[in-house]
Amino acid sequence: MEPASRLTRLLGQLRPGLREKALQAHELSARSFSSRRPQQLRLPFSKVLIANRGEIAVRVARACHEEGLTTVGIYAEEDKSSLHVQRVTEALKVTSSKPGPIAPYLDVQSVVEAAKRSGAEAVHPGYGFLSESADFAAACEDAGITFIGPRPETIALLGDKVRARELAMASDVPVLKGSPFLSSWVAAREFLERESLPLPIIFKAAFGGGGRGMRLVREDDELNEAYERCTSEAKTAFGNGSVFLEEFMEDARHIEVQVLADGQGGCAHLYERDCSVQLRNQKVVEVAPARIHPTLRKRISECAVRLLLKCQYRGVGTVEFMVAGSLQDPDARFVFMEVNPRIQVEHTITEEATDVDIVKTQLGIAGGFKLEELSLGPGADLEASKLRGFAIQARVSLAPGGNEVSKYQEPSGEGVRVDAALYAGGKPSMHYDPLVGKLICYAPGEGDDAFQTCRKRTITALDSYIIDGVNTNKPTLRGILHHPEFINNEVLLSFMARHGATLAGGISVPVAKGRGGAALRRQKLPVMSPLEATVIRSCVAEGAEVEEGQLLVLLSAMKLETEAAVGMEQRLSHGRILGLRIANFTDKPPRTLEVLKVAVTENQTVGSGEDLVATLDADSHMCREQDSYVGT
């Protein structure tokens, strides 16, 4: 089928009012990608099921359509109006025996059955969900369906973070000191004592990734709670609560290398990305390439290629490192963190910086092509391509508040790209990843002048990115791009912890000044849910006395645990809310409060702004005139 007729058919599936926007988006993406390598592939499959949702499903569908492939999308009932459903050739509903809107996307049997029912000959897993499931990759192979990713045994190896660290050591790649699996926080303490490993340390999910299932411990009395929280989050996010610990590298940078491997002896890299701007281990703004000394780049990239060759890797993958000290130090210490055996959210900026289409590269490798046949064979420094400039990605995520996108307009122009899944009239659900758009900007050239041009272009594009009707983190992104540490290549992993509260202009919580001699009165303070979520557990009973800082309610949303506080805004635009805590608005000693009513029960779904612990009886000197609220 000719591209024009295929586009006509796809546009015909869209609701009235969306066709013109979709056509404009298609034309923009076609201009951006038409010259990218590889292209015009002759693949052994013609129909691909995309086992994902949101912007990555839209991105994969675009690459497939450009190569003349038919696409099949999947969706849960709660997700049927999402844009990815409208951007594929056909879409099938998937279900699960387990409750919740995420479960269908994680149901191996349901997704594989959908692929078989549709006649799909290949499956692209995207990122998240089943992309790192060895069972899913094996089930596809057993069904005679090509899995566009690594072999099942490779996924299993790299998904076990303890075994992956052993692989790194066997590949002569430096690692941090770490433990085997830990059965309890007591076992963690015993390991620290036995190995004379000082704090701080970090607990990590043994079968996790993507920044989830991690807890930093700086004090000995934090071991118990950190272990329990890490185990809980790992079980929720990955279905396996196994954890281990590693020494924690202070004042580090997150540098990751994009690697391509054909599984036939060919392996090369597409340089590195600086992903040091992170909020609770979730990346926010990324840069490619890193502003790094050439010798340090060579050392890190050689380690990445060597490690993936060691495990006979097939597909595209990312090897993540932490780097201590300045990126301009050729002898800077770096250590291996993990391998992500899938496409990354931030693959976009590597595409812009190298002019290589990474999704099409995945298709080619899955189709049996060698890197040389894709014109991506390794060069003198094991590179698959030359650098052509800088690219920056700003992740646009939902924040609590709003329900329906009333106006949506993406920025455009030279060097501007948007990968998104929003549209006017859409109602994004907080059940899923809050990432709704990726703003990617590119500027050609080398050195600081090229980077600053790219940064300024990103700011201009961000200012013209219109998303009305829902709240997003755009103000925070703007603050990051303007910050001197970002401008001067000085961002560390602690950047958001140190500056996050002020990046969007900060928020002040008015505290009423007590009048001299005024008698204290008591008032009711509601504690509300900051987002749509499921109640895991109510931790207090009606009539109980609670202290400031005490855990009140556990909520689950988007598989990530985060703390929220009453009366202050932490600007955490997404996450699984660990609990609601009473905040001390004054410099007075902590006081005792009385729980008047608990308004929720376990497994109840609550909306943004809905009362959890409906009212609290508090001394008026805590907050005489200011209503308490939860901000994320």
Catalytic residue among 212, 273, 280, 342: 342
CA dist 490 and 484 (Å) reads 8
Q: In 3-state terms, what secondary structure has residue 521?
A: coil
CA dist 444 and 139 (Å) reads 43
Q: In 3-state terms, what secondary structure has residue 508?
A: coil
What are the φ/ψ torsions at residue 83 (nearest 5 degrees)?
-65, -35
**Between helices 54-66 and 3-12, what is the axis angle to 10°?**
150
CA dist 230 and 241 (Å) reads 8
Tokens of 612: 């959890």
**Between helices 358-366 and 54-66, what is the axis angle to 10°?**
70
H/E stretch holding 370: none
Burial class of residue 207, CB neighbours in 10 A (0-12, 13-18, 19+): buried
CA dist 430 and 426 (Å) reads 13
**CB atoms near residue 172 (< 10 Å):** 11
Do the Cβ atoms of 342 and 127 come closer than 8 Å?
yes
What residues contact residue 223 under an 8 Å CB cut-off, 6+ apart? 185, 188, 189, 217
The verdict on whether 15 is a catalytic residue reads no
Long-range Cβ pairs for the range 379-382 (8 Å, 24+): 379/268, 381/298, 381/301, 382/267, 382/268, 382/269, 382/301, 382/302, 382/305
Do the Cβ atoms of 391 and 353 come closer than 8 Å?
yes
What residues contact residue 64 under an 8 Å CB cut-off, 6+ apart? 48, 50, 70, 71, 124, 363
Q: Which residues are catalytic?
A: 342
